[in-house]
Amino acid sequence: MKRSAINHLIRSAQECFAAHHWALPSNARWDLTDFGLGDWKKYGLVLVNLAEEPEYCEKLMYAQQGMTTPSHAHKKKKEDIICRWGKLAIKVWAKHPAQAGNGLVIIPVNHEPIEFNSGAIIELEAGSRVTLMSGV
């Protein structure tokens, strides 16, 4: 990824956060990833690391329309994902996607446990959140 593309994505994220009244700390740490897939326009994600400790982390994530985050799960941490503006679609599995098959998974959406079929897509509106337990 060229430095000019990195700078463009960071500026785009900064402008988006500012437009939605998100004040960022002056020492925020920025990360950009394409998840090693070599196609940041499709799989890019901009992260602002606000806290990164073994027991707790807090990140703001910015993706442009059409960008996809590949399937993954965290073995040791749960994750709250909050859609701050726009819409966000998250596909969930009861187990690792390669082993998922059929099955049900209970995912708290806005603190209410909801049962989903493995492989279902949860669509979040602005202000909505999901809590993903470790392994989901």
Is the confidence at residue 110, as pLDDT, over 90? yes
CA–CA separation, 124 and 130 (whole Å): 8
Q: Model confidence at 113, in pLDDT bands (50, 70, 90)?
A: very high
Mean per-residue pLDDT, 64-69: 85
pTM: 0.73
pLDDT in tens, 40-65: 889 888 989 888 777 677 888 888 88
State CA 38 to chain mean position distance.
19
On whether the CB atoms of residues 20 and 13 are closer than 8 A, the answer is no
CA–CA separation, 53 and 92 (whole Å): 26
On whether the CB atoms of residues 136 and 77 are closer than 8 A, the answer is no
Residues 6 or more apart in contact with residue 50 via CB below 8 angstroms = 25, 28, 58, 59, 60
pLDDT recorded at residue 96: 61
